Structure formats: structure tokens, C-alpha cells
Amino acid sequence: MWYSLPVLCFHDCSDGGFFDLRKFNKFVQTCLEKTRKNDLLNVTNTPLTKIEFVLRQPQKISITDVRLWRFHSVSLPSLASMNLERVKLNDETLHKRVLGCRCLKELILDDCDGISRPIISSLSLKLLEAHSEYDEVTFHVEAAKLESFLGTGVAAYFEFGLSSYGTLRELSLFRSRFADWWLEELILKLPILESLTLCDSRYLDAPKIRSLQLKYLSIERIGYSHTLDAKLDCPNLLLFEYEGFLGKNLNHQNLLGAEIKIYGPEECDMNWFINLLEILSSLNCSQYLSLDVSSEKLISLRSIIP
């Protein structure tokens, strides 16, 4: 019967009185395990109010607020995309789930509960997003075809195995806690990195960003008042974006374009203006330069820019 059903729907609402959430979770687990020989096309849900599984050729699965502690034996060999949001599982379960998806290309892990040092190992994965805002998690990534990685959250840490270095083209880190040396060493190991985004990385101070293939660089310091004095050595960089307080080494030659948004200090002395002008003059942009200075006290800036 299980393998012939086109649609399964579970509802955790109860019209007859007391609802046992633990029994409901166990029942859903049993149903999931019974579908292990089938493929899932789609899973949509609101937080434990409705879960639908369409048993056809697999393309995508999205699960939110479900416990998958015993979800070990399910194999989805044709699944292409998996999104787990606030799912309760452990490191072993997650590792086996990814290994069981031999065609998996996209994986999104958003604040999953119960994991601490998961190993994300895949020969097919091309896009990985890992987020942890509350529980400290170290994601160890071993993905031989990984092209894009997004890591977010103050409690998230990342380790990349040797197999992940050669194919990564896009790297984005949001609200992550790592030091200058960690970023510098990682970038040097990524030979074809083309796009790098750094947003509100708390412990970054004066990183040396060196990359031969980097074409796009975006740095945002929205949540912190201190400057980021990044030293750039990227001869093929085409587009540079920066938002935050003024640093000392935010300069680059031979750009197509640059977008700069500066938060002005409460008191702007002549040294601050001179530093700004030196940076602007060093950004040799052949197509466009966008400048946004967020301070009412700097309205007179136009009068001193030639």
C-alpha cells in the first residue's frame, strides 16, 4: 500500500481533545521509513501543522520543525535538493542522509538542532548553505564538486577538506566568527575563487585578501563600529563593494566598478577627509564609481572633491 500512494498528508491538529506530539512525531518517523524505497518530489509544511510527501521521481525535499533522530535507513538516490530547517537530528543521521543522496546538488541546513560536528560528504554536491545562530556547530565539508558555499551565524564554524578546494567559485560568510589568519589561509587554498562576500564578520581586523582569480569582492561592516583595514592583492578584481566605516587600505587598481558606502564618524577631522580622498583616487574604475556617505555633517564633501 505504501508504495502505491501518490500523496501522504499528516496533520498534528486534534479536534477530539488532547494531542500527543511525541506519538505524532513517532508516527511520522514510521511513515518516512516506510517510504525509503520510493522517491520524494516535494515536501512542504508549516511548523508541524501540515506535511505533504509526493511520491514520484525525486527533485526536492524541504522539511521544517520535524524530528529525524531515527531517520537512518531512508535512501533517496535521485534527490537533487534538500532543505532542512530547524530539524532535530544528530551528526550521524545527517552524514548518512547526505551520503544516501547520490545525486544531491543543493543542501541547505538552517539552525538544525542536535548536531555539533557534522561531516558533509558528497561527490555530487554543488551548493551548500549552513546556518547556526544559537548552538555552536562546526561543519566539516568534504565535497569534491562544491561550487558555492554560504555560511552564516555567530555559532557556526567551518572546516574544509582537501576535496573541496579545487572547485569552489563562490564563498559567502555572514556573521561568522573567524580571525584574519583563518580567512587568509582559506583563500590561498581556493585556486578558482571568483566571488567573495564578507558580512559582519566580528573578529576580522586587517585581513590580507590575495587571489589571482577573484573578480567580485563585497565587504560589509554594518553591525560593528570599528574599521576593517583589508589589504587587497587581487589583480583580476573587477567589482568591489564596501559598506562600513572608513578603513585605511580599501583601495584597488583597474576596476570596472566600485560601490562604496561610508558611515561617517561623529567628528570628521581633516585626516579623515584626506584618507577618503586617497582611497577614492586609488579606485581606478573604468566604468563607474558609486559613493554614499551616511552623515549629515559631510554634505560639504562635494565642494572639496575635484
DSSP states of 100-130: T-TT--EEEEES-BS-SS-EEEESS--EEEE
More confident residue, 198 or 265: 198
Residue-by-residue DSSP string for 171-214: EEEES----HHHHHHHHHT-TT--EEEEES-TT-SS-EEE-SS-
Contacts of 236 (CB under 8 A, 6+ apart): 212, 213, 214, 215
Residue 191, in any domain of the structure: no
pLDDT of residue 301: 47
Task: Give the pTM.
Answer: 0.75
**Residues 144 and 217 occupy one common structural domain:** no
Contact 69/94 with Cβ under 8 angstroms?
no
Q: Nine-digit cell at 163?
A: 576535496
**Residues 6 and 75 occupy one common structural domain:** yes
**Residues 162 and 265 occupy one common structural domain:** no
**Residues 120 and 69 occupy one common structural domain:** yes
**Residues 163 and 211 occupy one common structural domain:** no
**Residues 203 and 290 occupy one common structural domain:** yes
Residue 183, in any domain of the structure: no
More confident residue, 266 or 155: 155
In the block, cell 515536501 appears at 43
Q: Nine-digit cell at 227?
A: 574599521
Average pLDDT on 151-174 reads: 90
**Residues 164 and 222 occupy one common structural domain:** no
Q: Which helix (H) or strand (E) holds 92?
A: helix 91-99
Has residue 98 got a pLDDT over 70? yes
pLDDT, one tens digit per residue, over 198-207 is 988 878 888 8
Average pLDDT on 116-134 reads: 93
Number of domains in the chain: 2
Question: In this structure, how many other beta carbons lie within 10 angstroms of the beta carbon of residue 302?
Answer: 8
Contact 88/112 with Cβ under 8 angstroms?
yes
Contact 45/51 with Cβ under 8 angstroms?
yes
DSSP annotation of 88: B
> What is the residue-averaged pLDDT of the chain?
76
Average pLDDT on 102-119 reads: 93
CA–CA distance, 93 with 87 (Å, rounded to integer): 11
pLDDT, one tens digit per residue, over 3-43 is 444 444 544 444 445 556 566 666 666 665 555 444 443 34
Residue 175, in any domain of the structure: no
**Residues 30 and 138 occupy one common structural domain:** yes
CA–CA distance, 53 with 40 (Å, rounded to integer): 6
Question: In this structure, how many other beta carbons lie within 10 angstroms of the beta carbon of residue 171?
Answer: 22
Binned at pLDDT 50, 70 and 90, residue 143 comes out as: very high
Average pLDDT on 246-265 reads: 72
**Residues 159 and 201 occupy one common structural domain:** no
Has residue 244 got a pLDDT over 60? yes
**Residues 261 and 220 occupy one common structural domain:** yes
Give the domain range for residue 17: 1-168
Q: Nine-digit cell at 280?
A: 577614492
